[in-house]
């Protein structure tokens, strides 16, 4: 190659490299996106107890570094002989959305943009057609005359379409019926969101923002530990509470007593009795064959 050719190709190469560097510049702002340890982390269901121990330590340290608060992160397993069921009394629900906000506080959801697991639908009397529902109702006083309210959250289907479509098994059904997500395994393709008939799944479109003083330090791996940008999340029946023998946050906060939760395998449980005695109960979109563990009923 002659001198002129060399100079010319170096100039072209130089301009190309500079342009490439300039276009990659936004990457400089990347912080805490991932670490080698996190990148290589194993799949939840293939972890040994020792692996899990390490992961929980990593999560604890990360949360402490970020929020200045040392959390208590556990990997709670399903209890033997327990199959969770949720029942919601539509006659009682007054549409106050207290459950929505209690859920956000309990489960460390992003506050900006805010992610809510529960959507309360305002429905005209006499119809269960959710295409007639109103989502953004905001009157001075609820309930309003002529309407009833239907809170919708993850239905924990027995045949969950989201589990079927996930290409990497990042979501699955646990033995107690909870459909769980390994947030560190999700690739963020959002196919589960397209598949879910209940709008239950939510995506972290950006890094979740939780004020330091709002963090709930009682955490579970499959539950309310802080999520990262780019993964899906949803209601998990407050796994960090219910697997420790407590009620979900939405139930505890409900001022109308509309929410009931328990073990369907225990014939003495409240939910067993409700399902045994109520003449009408509804599984939302029953025709889709998803078979929800979430039942709506009326006092009749």
Which residue's CB is nearer to other proteins, number 92 or number 285? 285
Backbone CA torsion sign across 148, 151, 157, 160: positive
Which residue's CB is nearer to other proteins, number 44 or number 261? 44
**Least Å distance between CB 195 and other proteins?**
5
Asked if 123 contacts 144 with a C-beta cutoff of 8 angstroms, the reply is: no
Nearest CA to 283 among 155, 99, 154? 155
Number of residues this chain uses to bind other proteins (CB under 8 A): 64
From 173, 229, 269, 272, residue interacting with other proteins (rule: CB under 8 A): 229
**Least Å distance between CB 269 and other proteins?**
29
Q: How far apart are the first and last CA of the chain?
A: 92
**Least Å distance between CB 245 and other proteins?**
31
Instruction: Using DSSP, state whether 193 is helix, strand or coil.
Output: helix
**Least Å distance between CB 283 and other proteins?**
14
Which residue's CB is nearer to other proteins, number 161 or number 262? 161
**Least Å distance between CB 72 and other proteins?**
26
DSSP designation for 23: H
Neighbours of 130 (CB within 10 A): 15
Instruction: Using DSSP, state whether 4 is helix, strand or coil.
Output: helix
- H helices of 176-254, in order, are 191-195, 239-242, 249-253
Regarding 6 and contact with other proteins (CB under 8 A), the answer is no
Q: Which of residues 134-153 bind other proteins (CB under 8 A)?
A: 135, 152
C-alpha–C-alpha distance, residues 227 and 70, integer Å: 16
Regarding 36 and contact with other proteins (CB under 8 A), the answer is no
Regarding 43 and contact with other proteins (CB under 8 A), the answer is yes
Site string for other proteins, 96-125 (x = CB under 8 A): -----------------x-x---x-x----
Regarding 195 and contact with other proteins (CB under 8 A), the answer is yes
**β-pair type (281-282, 294-297):** antiparallel
**Least Å distance between CB 144 and other proteins?**
18
Regarding 8 and contact with other proteins (CB under 8 A), the answer is no
CA-angle at 45, arms to 219 and 220, nearest 5°: 5
> In the numeric block, which tokens belong to residue 29?
């702002």
From 231, 251, 258, 271, residue interacting with other proteins (rule: CB under 8 A): 231
**β-pair type (218-220, 294-297):** unpaired
> In the numeric block, which tokens belong to residue 226?
């802080």
199, 135, 204, 230: CA torsion to nearest 10: 40
Regarding 133 and contact with other proteins (CB under 8 A), the answer is yes
Stretch that binds other proteins, among 65-73, 259-267, 269-277, 286-294 (CB under 8 A): 286-294
- List interacting residues with other proteins (CB under 8 A): 16, 19-20, 22-27, 29-30, 33-34, 39, 43, 113, 115, 119, 121, 129-133, 135, 152, 161, 164-170, 185-191, 193-199, 201-207, 228-232, 285, 288-290
């Amino acid at each position: 190659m002659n001198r002129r050719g060399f100079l010319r190709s170096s100039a072209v190469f130089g301009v190309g490299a500079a342009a490439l560097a300039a276009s990659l510049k936004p990457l400089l702002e990347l912080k805490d996106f991932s670490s080698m340890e996190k990148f290589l982390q194993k799949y939840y269901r293939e972890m040994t107890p020792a692996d899990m121990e390490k992961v929980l330590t990593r999560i604890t340290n990360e949360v402490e570094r970020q929020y200045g608060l040392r959390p208590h992160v556990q990997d709670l397993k399903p209890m033997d002989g327990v199959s969770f069921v949720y029942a919601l009394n539509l006659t009682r629900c007054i549409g106050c959305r207290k459950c929505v906000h209690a859920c956000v506080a309990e489960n460390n959801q992003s506050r900006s943009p805010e992610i809510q697991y529960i959507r309360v639908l305002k429905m005209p009397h006499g119809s269960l057609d959710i295409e007639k529902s109103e989502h953004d109702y905001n009157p001075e006083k609820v309930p309003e005359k002529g309407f009833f309210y239907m809170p919708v959250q993850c239905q924990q289907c027995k045949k969950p379409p989201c589990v079927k479509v996930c290409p990497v098994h990042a979501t699955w059904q646990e033995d107690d019926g909870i459909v769980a997500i390994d947030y560190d395994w999700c690739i963020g393709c959002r196919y589960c969101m397209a598949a879910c008939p209940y709008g239950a799944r939510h995506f972290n479109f950006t890094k979740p923002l939780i004020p330091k003083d709002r963090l709930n330090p009682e955490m579970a791996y499959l539950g309310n530990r802080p999520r990262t940008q780019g993964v899906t999340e949803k209601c998990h029946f407050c796994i960090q509470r219910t697997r420790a023998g407590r009620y979900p946050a939405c139930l505890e906060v409900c001022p109308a007593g509309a929410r009931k939760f328990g073990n369907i395998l225990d014939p003495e449980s409240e939910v067993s009795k409700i399902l045994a005695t109520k003449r009408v109960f509804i599984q939302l979109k029953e025709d889709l064959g998803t078979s929800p563990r979430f039942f709506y009923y009326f006092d009749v």
